[in-house]
Amino acid sequence: MAVVTVDFDGTLYKGNSFNAMFKLAKKEFTVKEWVVVFTGLMKAAVLGLFKGKNEFRKQFFMAFAKSFKGKTKEEMNSFFDKLVDIGKVDINKELVSKIREHQQNGHEVIILSGALQPFLHAFIKEVELDVPVISSQILYDENGVCTGKVTEFVNGEEKVKKVKDWLSKTAKGENDSRKKRDIWAYADSESDLPLFQYATYPIVVNPDKEMKLVAEKNDWPVF
């Protein structure tokens, strides 16, 4: 059985989750929560200058996660449901159809992204996809209250590690684990290069000019 990994930002979601989160936060956040976010964004801007876009994205999501500290899972789910309402116009409907085609062919589809997991769960619910999600998880305490912390940021080489872990856990015995399974990778950015190079079938989705050149150089198809 083939495994199909699908990125979120810029891929399954053609919009920008940064913009969507800011738009909703303007309506929902208190002054205290905005202070937490902007403090984190200043750190993100500095680290982004030295370590690149990937580090900026990581710090951005961490900043928003800190602002959620003290919220219950119900409050968090409500926030992300509203976020989907804002962003659903940018759903990549063509890719959703392609995912369904993969499923009809017996392929196992995984949403693999650095985005916050509650957003992805709300998003796939909106598009009525039944697929597992591997992404940056928000942590809760024993009472179901957000701690303001997240697990490791799922991007770059970490995506390859997560796929390998998934393959290892889903192997149905020693014989199956020795079989090489075809890996499809739908993604859009240079941070996904490790995953593209690992995949059997790398598919570049909605690339910018630089990524389009990378796709052409490697003879990777563009969706």
pLDDT in tens, 130-160: 999 999 999 999 999 999 999 888 989 999 9
Query: Please, what's the b/e burial string for 126-147 (b: 16 or more CB within 10 A of its CB; e: otherwise)?
Result: ebebebebbbbbbeeeeeebbe
Helix (H) or strand (E) holding 27: helix 17-28
What is the β-pairing status of strands 146-150 and 138-140?
Answer: antiparallel
Residues 6+ apart with CB under 8 A from 34: 25, 67
Q: Tens digits of per-residue pLDDT, 97-113?
A: 999 999 999 999 999 99
CA distances from 212 to 33, 83, 219 (A): 38, 30, 10
In this predicted structure, what is the pLDDT of residue 181?
A: 87
Residue 223 lies in a domain: no
pLDDT exceeds cutoff 50 at 172:
yes
pLDDT exceeds cutoff 60 at 178:
no
Question: Chain-wide mean pLDDT for the chain?
Answer: 90
The predicted model scores a pTM of 0.89
CATH of the domain at 18: 3.40.50.1000
d(CA 198, CA 216): 17
Cβ contact 182:200 at 8 Å: yes
Residue 45 lies in a domain: yes
Q: Tens digits of per-residue pLDDT, 183-213?
A: 999 999 999 999 999 999 999 999 999 999 9
Higher per-residue pLDDT: 49 or 89: 89
Work out how many domains the chain is built from and give that number: 1
Q: Which two tokens stand for residue 116?
A: 């916050």
Q: Tens digits of per-residue pLDDT, 28-79?
A: 999 999 898 888 888 878 877 777 777 777 788 888 889 999 999 999 999 9
Selection from 187, 214, 32 nearest residue 115 by Cα = 187
Residue 171 lies in a domain: yes
Cβ contact 95:223 at 8 Å: yes
Domain of residue 154 covers 3-218
DSSP-assigned letter for residue 90: G
Residues 6+ apart with CB under 8 A from 177: 167, 168, 171
Q: Tens digits of per-residue pLDDT, 18-27?
A: 788 888 988 9
In this predicted structure, what is the pLDDT of residue 179?
A: 58
d(CA 119, CA 122): 5
Residue 95 lies in a domain: yes
